[in-house]
């Protein structure tokens, strides 16, 4: 009984069985293998045709929805009335086959997206008062300590507080290899711990976690929102009306009802209706494989028209966090590496991002253990001072040096100015009351940025930099990226105004950003693309597309995919309309009978679906 109930509830298995039985009945009917009365082709009419008729009647009565099913139902009924049982069965079978192919294409297109939904962790291993217990994931609170074992899915977003591991982040970021993680590193819900055990502190839980945010984006991905889909639906409605008039006119002029029935068969606008949604969903599925979530179907349609792409700087073209890019000693007997060691040691207890960046850089480039600072103190807005191995170290800005009577040599000042003009922040360092040198830090440009800009230029899309940073930092990053059009010192309204000017000049803009200050520009742009990982929730909600792994290298692929998707839609529409037109002429002339008409028409529907499915494998050069 359970097997029977499972079969009844499984639409896919039931559809496959009905199609198989219908195919067998049509073969037996066509070749007269068995002499059965009534015609065994009735099996196909009942199993495949009745659901179509039921859907047509339901649509008419509940929504007055005149679409393809209505015309198919009329064609089925007319074929039966004139005794063309095999033709009616064939129409029903091929229509059901086309619908099944469409569903499988759409399902395959969405498969990559829906993995996120199934990855939602159901339980978490929480450590409270030294006791470890497994609780439902939704009961985890912020600041709870969780223990994650090898092979387990991480339940919430958080920070590792003990242990080391490697995490498979492929479903969230598309990275092929696991990412090494240690104390202080962020981990995200839905990703998988590859080996070892680590403890983490929960930071974002429940609906705020990465996996839940991505699921909300997934659930909003809907090909039905594309404007061009609505256009195809409207055409389908008119075609149904024209088909009925054409069939009636042909019957009236020729007196041959079989020609009228054939016209009804070939006039069904199935291929036209399938042309767009299958291509849009295949395009969305392709983008997902590259870590790109398309929230709305019409975003691809709009993206295909873009001629400019505007980038935010911090967190988009750059990594969004300071890194040491240069350090120089000006003291005889103190090497550059020695200067960095003293600075990193003094900054160990600093909570300032610049101080943390210096310490992190030293640990990355040196295996030596840093000495612990003594008499550490921090002066807000100035810097730090500490005793390191018996030496008094000051590390801070020029004001701190002046307040402590430290005179900076001209060579140090001039060198520091040069780095500030390149967008760097400078930390001056003094040792035992005398200037020792400086350390320069900057927000480092992503290494793939220049190549991205070059690829965009190759498809006639101009890159623009819109940033709130000052002129020197903006111009330096623009030069590094190969961007000629730069606007700096931009407030959120300035970014909006710049985009508005371009679009008023008929230059459609795609905006790529990550922060709250980018949200208005993301909304204003023809298409908004947000950095889905580090980007703020507000920015993601304002955008049409999210880059799950903050990986901008796939933006050229996204634009090429959008153009290819629209090209596929136009080809689908053209081929379906051309095939219908030729088939109608042949039907009016009596060259096509209902059986051949059904074959020709439905071959067009299948061709449209297969042509759209090719988008799933599309890869840009």
Neighbours of 462 (CB within 10 A): 18
Catalytic residue among 144, 312, 415, 550: 312
From CA 509, how far away is CA 302, in angstroms rounded?
A: 10
For residue 287, the cross-strand partners are none
Decide if 539 contacts 520 (C-beta within 8 A). Answer: no
* Strand ranges inside 52-144, DSSP E: 123-128, 131-136
* 237 CB-contact burial (10 Å; exposed 0-12 / middle 13-18 / buried 19+): middle
Query: In this structure, what DSSP letter does residue 83 have?
Result: T
Q: Which residues contact 178 (CB under 8 A, 6 or more apart)?
A: 166, 167, 168, 169, 194
For tokens 């890194």, the residue is 323
Q: Is 185 helix (H, G, I), strand (E, B) or coil?
A: coil
From CA 328, how far away is CA 7, in angstroms rounded?
A: 74
Phi/psi of residue 163, nearest 5 degrees: 95, 165
From CA 78, how far away is CA 257, in angstroms rounded?
A: 9
Decide if 25 contacts 90 (C-beta within 8 A). Answer: no
From CA 106, how far away is CA 266, in angstroms rounded?
A: 24
Decide if 18 contacts 47 (C-beta within 8 A). Answer: yes
* 377 CB-contact burial (10 Å; exposed 0-12 / middle 13-18 / buried 19+): exposed
From CA 513, how far away is CA 322, in angstroms rounded?
A: 18
Length of the chain: 621
Neighbours of 369 (CB within 10 A): 8
* 73 CB-contact burial (10 Å; exposed 0-12 / middle 13-18 / buried 19+): buried
Q: Note if 469 is an active site residue.
A: no
* 28 CB-contact burial (10 Å; exposed 0-12 / middle 13-18 / buried 19+): middle
Which residue from 184, 179, 124 is spatially nearest to 155, judged by alpha carbons?
A: 124
For residue 323, the cross-strand partners are 442
From CA 323, how far away is CA 319, in angstroms rounded?
A: 9
Decide if 595 contacts 84 (C-beta within 8 A). Answer: yes
Decide if 515 contacts 320 (C-beta within 8 A). Answer: no
Q: Which residues are catalytic?
A: 312
């Amino acid at each position: 009984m359970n097997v029977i109930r499972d079969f009844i509830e499984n639409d896919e298995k039931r559809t496959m069985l009905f199609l198989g039985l219908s195919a067998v009945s049509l073969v037996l009917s066509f070749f007269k293998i068995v002499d059965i009365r009534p015609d065994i082709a009735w099996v196909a009419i009942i199993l495949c045709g009745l659901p179509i008729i039921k859907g047509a009647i339901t649509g008419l009565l509940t929504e007055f929805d005149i679409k393809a099913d209505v015309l198919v139902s009329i064609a089925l009924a007319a074929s039966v009335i004139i005794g063309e049982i095999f033709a009616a069965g064939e129409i029903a079978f091929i229509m059901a086959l086309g619908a099944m192919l469409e569903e499988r294409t759409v399902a395959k297109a969405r498969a990559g997206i829906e993995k996120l939904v199934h990855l939602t962790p159901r339980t978490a291993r929480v450590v409270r008062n030294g006791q470890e217990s497994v609780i439902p994931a939704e009961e985890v609170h912020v600041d709870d300590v969780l223990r994650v074992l090898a092979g387990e899915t991480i339940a919430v977003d958080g920070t590792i507080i003990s242990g080391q591991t490697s995490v498979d982040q492929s479903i969230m970021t598309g990275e092929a290899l696991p990412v090494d993680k240690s104390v202080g590193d962020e981990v995200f819900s839905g990703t998988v711990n590859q080996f070892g055990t680590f403890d983490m502190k929960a930071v974002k839980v429940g609906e705020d976690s990465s996996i839940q945010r991505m699921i909300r984006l997934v659930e909003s991905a809907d090909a039905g929102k594309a404007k061009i889909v609505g256009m195809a639906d409207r055409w389908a409605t008119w075609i149904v009306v024209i088909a009925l008039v054409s069939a009636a006119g042909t019957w009236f002029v020729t007196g041959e009802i079989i020609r009228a029935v054939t016209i009804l068969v070939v006039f069904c606008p199935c291929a036209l209706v399938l042309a767009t949604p299958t291509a849009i969903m295949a395009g969305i599925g392709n983008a997902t494989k590259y870590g790109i979530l398309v929230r709305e179907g019409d975003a691809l349609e709009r993206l295909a028209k873009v001629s400019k792409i505007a980038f935010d700087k911090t967190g988009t073209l750059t990594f969004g966090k300071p890194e040491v890019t240069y350090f120089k000693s000006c003291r005889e007997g103190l090497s550059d590496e020695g200067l960095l060691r003293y600075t990193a040691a003094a900054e160990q207890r600093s909570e300032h991002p610049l101080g943390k960046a210096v310490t992190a850089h030293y640990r990355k480039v040196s295996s030596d253990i840093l000495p612990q600072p003594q008499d550490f103190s921090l002066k807000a807005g100035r810097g730090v001072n500490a005793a390191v191995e018996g030496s008094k170290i000051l590390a801070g800005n020029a004001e701190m040096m002046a307040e402590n009577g430290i005179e900076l040599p001209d060579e140090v000042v001039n060198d520091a100015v040069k780095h500030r003009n390149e967008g760097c922040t400078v930390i001056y360092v003094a040792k035992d009351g005398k200037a020792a040198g400086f350390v320069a830090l900057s927000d480092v440009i992503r290494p793939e940025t220049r190549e991205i800009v070059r690829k965009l230029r190759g498809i006639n899309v101009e890159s623009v930099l819109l940033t709130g940073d000052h002129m020197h930092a903006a111009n330096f990053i623009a030069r590094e990226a190969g961007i000629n059009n730069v606007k700096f010192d931009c407030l959120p309204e300035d970014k909006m105004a710049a985009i508005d000017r371009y679009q008023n000049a008929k230059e459609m803009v795609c905006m790529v950003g990550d922060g709250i200050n980018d949200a208005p520009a993301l909304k204003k742009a023809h298409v908004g693309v947000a950095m889905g990982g580090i980007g703020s929730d507000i920015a993601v909600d304002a955008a049409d597309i999210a880059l799950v792994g903050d990986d901008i290298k796939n933006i050229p692929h996204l634009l090429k995919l959008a153009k290819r998707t629209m090209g596929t839609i136009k080809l689908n529409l053209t081929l379906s309309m051309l095939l219908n037109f030729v088939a109608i002429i042949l039907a009016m002339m009596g060259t096509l009978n209902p059986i051949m008409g059904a074959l020709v028409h439905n071959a067009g529907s299948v061709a449209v679906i297969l042509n759209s499915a090719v988008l799933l494998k599309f890869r840009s050069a």
